[in-house]
Each structure stands twice: as structure tokens, then as C-alpha cells.
Amino acid sequence: MISNAALKHWLTDMEGILQDVSVSVRNLKRLNWPMNEKEAAILRQDFFIDYAQVLRFSIVVQLCKLLVRNPYQKRNFFRLFNSLKQEKYDGRLKQVLKENRGKSGRYSNKLSLKEGIKALQKDLEQQKELIRKLQIVRDKFFAHTDPSARWPEIRDEDLVKLYRLALETCNALNKGIYNREFIPRERGKQDLEQILLTLSSAS
């Protein structure tokens, strides 16, 4: 049985992963778009070249948690979909869905939720080749170095695309069940912007 509390906890954990990815995505974009020649010179330093690879590593590992089928990963979308399709719901979750009746874009019972999940699975299936490349990068290059492995054609833009897909998938459930939306925080201690401003001013 899946309870309302367990589902909320599941979505909250996914949001935490997406928040981490959003910081890495934002910083990676910033590294790729210097504001002026002075900043471009700073970003050509080895430290920032290596930092870009660290960001890619973080994005790949975190997105794999959500987007790759893995029986050992507790928080991937496929495992959540299977739970919502196959398990019984507790009384509180049934009541939440019942209260959604007559409200546009909301899941009002298990059947409508299963239909929504089918659409989300289709969206993920359409990106299966990109997700497969993501998994190759994690397994062959980041988790275990394979000298014979060939780096798949996956760009920073592809990582951003998969991040947005994961965010949209999480929020489709959030909106459809709880009428809420997770919006990653735009600024934080890990943000690169202030560091670049400081370095530009000092150089």
C-alpha cells in the first residue's frame, strides 16, 4: 500500500535531487556564457575547465537516479509509477484524489492517475536514447572507468533537456495530485555568479 504521506515524501526527495541538478545546470550554463573578455579569460583557467567537468558529473549522476530504470535506486520515476499503478492507496490519498474531482488538470481517482502516468511514461520513452547515453556516461566513465568505452554523443544542451524533462515529470505529479509546483531556488551559496563578479573585479 502506498500512503499519502509516503507519496509526499517521495516527491520531496525527488525535488531535493532536482534542486541539486538545477544549481549545477545553472552554473554550467554560466561557465559557457562569459559576460565579457575579462570573464572569458578567467573561465579559460584550468580550475574552471575542471569545474565544468565536475558539474557534468553531478548532473549525470543525479539525473540517473531519476531517469534510469534501476531496482536498487529507491527514487526513480519508474519505481514510483509502478507503485502508483499497482499498489493500493491509503484512505488519505484516496480522499486527496476525490477532492480533485471537477478540477481541470487534476487526477481525481486511481484510473485518471494511471492515464496520466501513461502519458508521462511516453514522454520518457521518447527520450530513451538520450537517457541510454546518460547511463553510459555514468557507468563507463564516471562510476567505473572503461578504457575501451567510447564517449557517447551527449552535449551540455542534452543534459539541460533531460533536467527539464525530469522537472516537468515531477511537477506533473505534483500539480495533478496536490495542485502545487516545485520551483528550484534561483540563488544560493553554491551559485557561481558572485564568485565570477568578485574575480572580475579583482583582476
Query: What residues does each domain of the chain span?
Result: 4-202
Task: Give Cα 98 to chain centroid, integer Å.
Answer: 29
pLDDT at 193: 78
Q: For residue 72, give the nearest of 16, 143, 15, 133 by alpha carbon.
A: 143
What is the per-residue pLDDT for 167? 98
Which amino acid, 19?
Answer: Q
Instruction: Give the C-alpha separation, 120 to 156, whole Å.
Output: 23
Predicted confidence band of residue 11 (pLDDT cuts 50, 70, 90):
very high
State percent of the chain over pLDDT 70: 91
**Strand, helix or coil for residue 89:** strand
For the question of whether the overall pTM of this predicted structure is more than 0.95, the answer is no
**61: which 3 cell numbers?**
549522476
Residue 154 pLDDT: 86
Q: Is the pLDDT of residue 151 over 70?
A: no
The pLDDT, as a whole number, for residue 188 is: 67
3-state secondary structure of 154: coil
In this prediction, residue 199 carries a pLDDT of 80
Per residue in 50-78, pLDDT (tens digit) is: 999 999 999 999 999 999 988 777 789 99
Say how far residue 72 (Cα) sits from the centre of its chain: 18
- Contact status, residue 165 vs residue 123, Cβ threshold 8 Å: yes
What does the pLDDT read at residue 26? 92
- Which of 12-21, 81-90, 141-150 bottoms out in mean pLDDT, i.e. has the lowest? 141-150
pLDDT at site 183: 94
Q: Which residues of 66-92 are buried (b: 16+ CB within 10 A; e: fewer)?
A: bbbeeeeeebbbbbbbeebeeeebeee
Q: Using an 8 Å Cβ cutoff, are 124 and 169 in contact?
A: yes
Mean pLDDT of the chain: 90
